[in-house]
Chain A
Amino acid sequence: MDQQTPYVDEAPVTATGGFASAEFAENPEPRCACVLLLDTSGSMNGPPIAQLNLGLQSFKDELLSDSLASKRVEIAVVTFGESARLVTDFCDAASFEPPSLTAGGLTPMGAAVWDALGRLAARKETYKANGVAYYRPWVFLITDGEPTDEYQSAAQQVREGEARGAFSFYAVGVMDANMQKLAEISPPNRPPVKLDGLRFRDLFVWLSKSMRTVSQAAIGQNVALQPPGWISTQA
């Protein structure tokens, strides 16, 4: 089809200015929430936490480089170390200040998962109350250890939520992470993956690309994500 159909110049019949005088509704951009659940326990100290911090910066930069994603993706950061803690509440890429995380304490992963899922549910309510359309949110958990608190109820919550489509849950194990326990928390259809070394930057570049894809999917479109290149294939 000829995309630039020439305007057929006829004397204007109406005073309305034709089709072009149709005004557009102002609707908020649809949003795609992404909660990062980050392990900041003592064992992350040193290069892991440093690389994780660099990765967060890349995440912001990559999202900002895409005009739609920068408006649509909303990031929240919950860490678990000394305690489960909200470090960044939902904000867009421009407002996202990549935190400089420090490592210390145990691994209260169960509490952090509960916290993240609660915030996600509340965020959806905010979207609905404000007439904001939204995409299926993501929860992205990164850990190098295993939960030191009660995590079974949180795991149950993750599986139920994933099953009814409330969110997509991804878990990534770093170095000596207990992949067994991580598998218990992950939904059966999306088992945890292991980060290759400390390739946090590659992971976050992939995550931003995926969020771009998800947040720009046309109506009714299932998204095909790029295969993550940062996964360790060693058992």
Chain B
Amino acid sequence: MTWRFVDGFAAGTSHLETQSPCQDRCACVVVSSDDGGEVLVAVVSDGAGSAPRSEEGAAFVCQELTAAAGAAVRASSDLDALSDETVRSWFLAVREALRARARAAGGDVRDYAATALLAIASDHQALCAQLGDGGIVVRRAPGEPFELAVWPGGGEYANETFFVTDDGAPERIELRRYDRVVDVVAFSDGLQHLALEWSSRSAFAPFFGPLVATVRARGDAGDAVRAELLAYLNSEAVNRRTDDDKSLAIACRVEAGAA
């Protein structure tokens, strides 16, 4: 396999105190294209703390975006053939499905409010689509800088963000395209004060370096490395710096022969 990856989510200490569930979800898959390419699809979704069914919303976002992107890249690994409109339509389909689900449950679609971050990386291109807080960081080659796709936070204030369930969602999806990348890390807002530097509005390299190095070295360890990631997300060091839910999807391309 071209990619090694690991993903996991963990409840924030503030959620544990109030006994509210972890409302973050993430997913990572590698799809084998019909044209022979191998394409990474990673999704992170953070359910709004104030929305009663946002955990369900976040899980749905991960499931649906992974499925939609997976189907598209299975047909072709050429991301240039994938239009912005198509990518946006996946987000809209998620919203419409959540609206239907809310109607059926006699609730409001905002009950399912969740952010939606999607990263797709083929052998030749990468694409990031983001709605709401959190972030996606990519690296074009080992030794190159970690690049943040979209600076998080749509609004002026620290507690403002956008959700896939918003009326204005379509206009707020931010898309970025890259040539070939070797590392992809997606994370929820619970980690963004640890992972990003506010003064320079950029990815904090000493955070990302060890993550990708570990996955590159241990990514074939399967459940063991996942357990390690969860232990890390639940560690005292992380919890000292954030009391929010946190999720991480880390993927690294391993060169043929090195796998």
Contact = CB atoms under 8 A, between A and B. Distances in A.
A27 interface: yes
A14 B228 contact: no
Given A6-B227, A18-B214, A221 B16 contact: no
Contact of A217 (B156, B159, B201, B206): B159
B226 to A, nearest CB: 9
Main secondary structure of the interface of A (DSSP, over half): loop
A20 interface: yes
Given A7-B228, A16-B213, A220-B48, A25 B159 contact: no
A3 B218 CA distance: 22
A235 interface: no
Contacts of A25: 193-198, 204, 207
A8 B227 contact: yes
Given A5-B234, A30-B158, A132-B198, A221 B50 contact: yes
B67 interface: no
Q: Which of A10, A22, A30, A136 has most chain B Cβ within 10 Å?
A: A22
Given A3-B11, A5-B230, A222-B50, A22 B211 contact: yes
Interface of A: 1, 3-8, 10, 13-14, 16-25, 27-28, 30, 130-136, 165, 214, 216-224
Interface of B: 10-11, 14, 16, 22, 46, 48-50, 113, 115, 132-133, 153, 156-163, 189-190, 192-201, 204, 206-211, 213-214, 217-218, 221, 223-224, 227-232, 234-235, 237, 241, 244
Given A8-B224, A22-B208, A24-B207, 17 more contacts: A5-B227, A7-B227, A14-B213, A18-B232, A24-B194, A24-B241, A25-B194, A25-B197, A25-B207, A131-B197, A131-B199, A135-B158, A218-B189, A220-B46, A220-B132, A221-B49, A222-B50
28 contacts: A3-B10, A6-B227, A10-B221, A14-B213, A16-B214, A18-B214, A18-B228, A20-B232, A22-B207, A22-B209, A23-B210, A24-B207, A25-B193, A25-B196, A25-B198, A131-B197, A133-B158, A135-B157, A165-B156, A218-B49, A218-B159, A219-B158, A219-B192, A220-B113, A220-B115, A221-B159, A223-B159, A224-B50
